[in-house]
Structure 1
Amino acid sequence: MQTPATYPAARMRRLRRTRAMREMVQENGLSAGDLIWPVFIRDGNGVEEPIASLPGVNRLSLDRLLPAAERALALGIPAICLFPYTAPDLRTEDCAEAWNPENLTNRAIRMLKAELPELMVMTDIALDPYNANGHDGFVVDGQILNDETVDALVKMGLAQAEAGADILGPSDMMDGRIGALRAAMESAGHRDVAILSYAAKFASGFYGPFRDAVGAGTRLVGDKATYQINPANREEALACVARDLAEGADMVMIKPGMPYLDICRAVKDRFQRPTFAYQVSGEYAMLMAAAQNGWLDGDKVMLESLMAFKRAGCDGVLTYFAPRVAEILRK
Structure 2
Amino acid sequence: MADSNSTDFTNPSTFILQGIPGLETAHVWISIPFCTMYAIAILGNITILFIVKMDPSLHGPMYYFLCMLASNDLVLPTSIMIKTLSIFWFSSREINFSACLTQMYFINCISVMESGIFVAMAFDRYVAICDPLRHSTILTNSMVAKTGLVVLLRGIILILPYPLLARQWPYCRTNIISHSYCEHMAVVKLACANTQISSYYSLSVAFFVIGLDAFFISVSYVQILRAIFTLPRKGARLKTFGTCGSHLCVILSSYIPALFSFLTHRFGQKVALHFHILTANMYLLVPPMLHPIIYGARTKQIWDSLLQLFIHKVN
TM over 0.5: no
Structure with the higher fraction of residues in helix conformation: 2
Structure with the higher fraction of residues in strand conformation: 1
The alignment's TM-score, normalised by the length of structure 2, stands at 0.29
Q: 1 or 2 for the larger relative contact order (CA 8 Å, sep ≥6)?
A: 2
